[in-house]
Amino acid sequence: MQAIAEHYPAHVQTCPARADAALAASGHDHLLIHSGSEIVAFLDDLSYPFRSNPHFRAWLPLHRHPDCWLLYTPGQRPVVLYHQPRDFWHLPPSDPQGYWVDAYDVRVVREASEVVDHLPLEGRLAVIAEHVPTELPARAQLNPSVLIDHLHWSRGVKTAYELACMREANRRAAPAHYAAREAFLQGASEYDIHLAYCRACSHTEAELPYPNIIGVNEHAAVLHYQHRDREAAPRRSLLVDAGATYAGYASDITRTTCVDDGPFTELVDAMDAAQRALCEAVRPGLAFGDLHREAHRRIGDVLHEAGVIRIGGADAQQAGLTRYFFPHGLGHLIGAQVHDVGGQMAGPDGSRQPPPEDFPHLRLTRTLETDMVVTIEPGVYFIDLLLDALQQEKLASEVHWPVIEKLRPWGGVRIEDDVRVGAPDHENLTRAWLP
């Protein structure tokens, strides 16, 4: 943790520099960022789990602190309005402490309405918030798109502090993936595998960066499988898509396990080799869409060698055959959000670079830059809905359907790492801890 603290002073020099450029572009004089509010469920008095505003936690490691504010004016020391209510129903935040405190003018506020007492008296005020818990002056503009576009673009490249946080998030997730695999091999249910994962990374469900995907057997073919069966199923395969957090930054990791040697284990091994090769190809100047197409070619080769399709990878990719087995994008930006913002931007002006028509689910279309962090997550799945559609196409003749029928009960395989774009070499944040 000392290295993370040591990187923080440089990080809080970068955040104001990015804010200066965004404020200049949008014509505002001040920036006010809300940490977020606890949202009460409809017709209830219970709140949903709190998720802080990612723009706020890009400055501050305060991801459990609702109704705090960051106030920034170019050339001045940033102000943190630290909400510490007098409350005997809940435990209020402790006094401000940690490596971040010295970088700010920290002011404790007891009520959300007190924020207006600390705002500058003049100038245009840009506010980034989902729900504003108090009345702000009329000169405040909520979520100006020009400013937000500039900030989203700049967040694509990570500071040394952010990279350190993400390395730690990967380190914390690694033992949890080991624990999940061991629970599966011992015959645990999806629900118990999930509990083993949370216990091993010391996260509650609310602290996970996203809901764990724990799919046993056929459930591994559901890309965002959302349930957790309480009853244990016969052990064939396990797909775990799960991460961890540190200081508000996420990891996003997927591993697939097979119990017995055989065709599906060979498929997992081949996909692991293909995924490693795709990670090795990550470099500055590479258009991510080109890497996505390369993933389809490699997946076509894997399917051909496994006896699933009759044609080689390049032909299968060109014909669109691989899309029936690999229907999602190769990866996305990751950082303060799991699916980090700005992936389809063409520039800080908000212009867009949409995904190609043949790959509409591709979340990342940008050209890679040094210190971006991306996920690399190729997959092969046997999805009934897509296979039924494929059977109606001319391409159906290029498929060995008996082989598919043998593999369907294993669901599918996905392997995912978090990779820093380096110059000249990439850095695999995940494989440092988890093979």
Same domain for 328 and 401, yes or no, is yes
Same domain for 11 and 143, yes or no, is yes
Contacts of residue 261, defined as CB under 8 A and 6 or more positions apart, other chains included, come to none
pLDDT tens column, 38-72: 999 999 999 999 999 999 999 999 989 999 999 99
Same domain for 127 and 236, yes or no, is no
- Residue 406 domain boundaries: 160-428
Structure tokens at 87: 């409350």
Rounded distance, CA 10 to CA 6, Å? 8
Same domain for 83 and 207, yes or no, is no
Same domain for 223 and 206, yes or no, is yes
Last residue within a domain, chosen from 154, 169, 196 = 154
Strand partners, 417: 376
How long is the chain? 435
pLDDT confidence bin for 3, thresholds 50/70/90: confident
Last residue within a domain, chosen from 154, 175, 194 = 154
Say whether 433 sits in a helix, a strand or coil: coil
Same domain for 176 and 213, yes or no, is yes
Last residue within a domain, chosen from 120, 154, 188 = 154
Q: Is residue 352 part of a domain?
A: yes
Structure tokens at 346: 């063409």
pLDDT tens column, 275-319: 999 999 999 999 999 999 999 999 999 999 999 999 999 999 999
Same domain for 139 and 188, yes or no, is no
Contacts of residue 163, defined as CB under 8 A and 6 or more positions apart, other chains included, come to 371, 373, 420, 429
Same domain for 62 and 186, yes or no, is no
Rounded distance, CA 143 to CA 53, Å? 12
Rounded distance, CA 90 to CA 408, Å? 49
Rounded distance, CA 324 to CA 316, Å? 10
* Mean pLDDT, the chain, whole residue set: 97
Q: Is residue 434 part of a domain?
A: no
Q: Is residue 95 part of a domain?
A: yes
Domains contained in the chain, number? 2
User: Which CATH number covers residue 218?
Assistant: 3.90.230.10
Q: Is residue 435 part of a domain?
A: no
Same domain for 179 and 316, yes or no, is yes
pLDDT tens column, 73-129: 999 999 999 999 999 999 999 999 999 999 999 999 999 899 999 999 999 999 999
pLDDT tens column, 317-331: 999 999 999 999 999
Rounded distance, CA 165 to CA 151, Å? 20
Q: What are phi and psi of 139, to 5 degrees?
A: -75, 0
Rounded distance, CA 106 to CA 103, Å? 9
Same domain for 360 and 225, yes or no, is yes
**CA nearest neighbour of 413 among 236, 210, 289:** 236
pTM: 0.96
User: Which CATH number covers residue 44?
Assistant: 3.40.350.10
Same domain for 141 and 46, yes or no, is yes
CB 426 within 8 A of CB 284: no
Q: Is residue 82 part of a domain?
A: yes
Contacts of residue 153, defined as CB under 8 A and 6 or more positions apart, other chains included, come to 342, 345, 347, 348
pLDDT tens column, 238-280: 999 999 999 999 999 999 999 999 999 999 999 999 999 999 9
Q: Is residue 433 part of a domain?
A: no
Same domain for 176 and 143, yes or no, is no
pLDDT at position 150 is 98
Q: Is residue 307 part of a domain?
A: yes
